[in-house]
Every structure is written in structure tokens, then in C-alpha cells.
Amino acid sequence: MLAIDERNMKKNNTNPFGKEKEIKEVLRKLTNPNYQGSNLALPEDATIIEKFKYEICQSIAHYKLKNKLELKEMADLLSLDKSSMSKLLRCHIELFALDSLITYAEKLTIPLQITETPRSPRKRILPSSNSRKSSRNILLAKK
């Protein structure tokens, strides 16, 4: 558990998680597809398809944990080699097609549902030529 000394933090005017520059460096590493550590982080500017793929990978990883399965068992269930299974569980979404991930979720009987949610307002740098159009994101959600 992380203990934060607020008095010392205010006195030194520091962030307990590090300097902003250090935080950005960690995020840069975590969003790099070649990162060999734990799960990859999804970049802030991820596309809708990248978000779908990430959510499916997370659902498959949750399935593995919930069912207390070994990597080899998961790989066998999805007809993947251990290396590919490991990459899927660590959200290396660039290595997998969306339809393949959906097929894997179906094999594991993981229910998936696509829902529409309103897009959060964003600040525009340049005026939009068609500012009256409303837009919505489509998010992937588990049933």
C-alpha cells in the first residue's frame, strides 16, 4: 500500500508518483508495442477498433484468471501457440485482427455487446465545417 505524507508533499511541492517528465516516459514505454513487461496500455488517441481489440483481450485475460487456467491450457483452447497466447493476454492488439479476437471470445463463450454512447465534448482547435453533426462512439461492453 502506498503511504503519502501530505505535509511533505505540500512542503516540497512534489507528486508522489514522480515528476511529470518521468510519468510521460513510463507511459511512452507502456504504449510501445515492443514493450516486454506486463499489459500494454492503450494510448489516449486509440481508434475505436483499437479500443474494441483491447477490451476483448482484457476479457480473455479475465476469463483465464477467473477459470484459473494455465497459459498452455488457454493456448490449446484457442488453438494458439504459447507465445501468441501470451501476447494476446498482454494486449498486443497490433498482432491480432478484430475478427480473430471476436472468434476467440466466442470459443470461450465470452458474451460481447456493442453499445453506443455519446461522445464527450472536445475542444476544437480549428472550427469544424460541419459543426451541426452529432457524433457517437461505439464501445464494446461485456453483457
**Helices H, strands E: what count in the chain?**
6, 2
Give φ, ψ of 34 to 5 degrees.
-90, 5
Alpha helices in the chain (DSSP H): 6-12, 20-30, 48-66, 71-78, 82-89, 98-107
Query: In this structure, is the dihedral angle defined by the CA atoms of residues 111, 94, 31 and 114, taken in order, positive or negative?
Result: negative
pLDDT in tens, 19-71: 777 767 666 665 665 555 556 678 888 899 999 999 999 999 999 999 999 99
What is the rounded CA–CA span in Å between residue 109 and residue 37?
28
- 57 neighbors 89 (Cβ within 8 angstroms): yes
CATH architecture of 44-120+137-143: Orthogonal Bundle (1.10)
- 61 neighbors 38 (Cβ within 8 angstroms): no
Sequence ranges of the domains in the chain:
44-120+137-143
pLDDT in tens, 77-91: 999 999 999 999 999
- Write down the pTM of the prediction: 0.58
Helix, strand or coil, per DSSP, at residue 93: helix
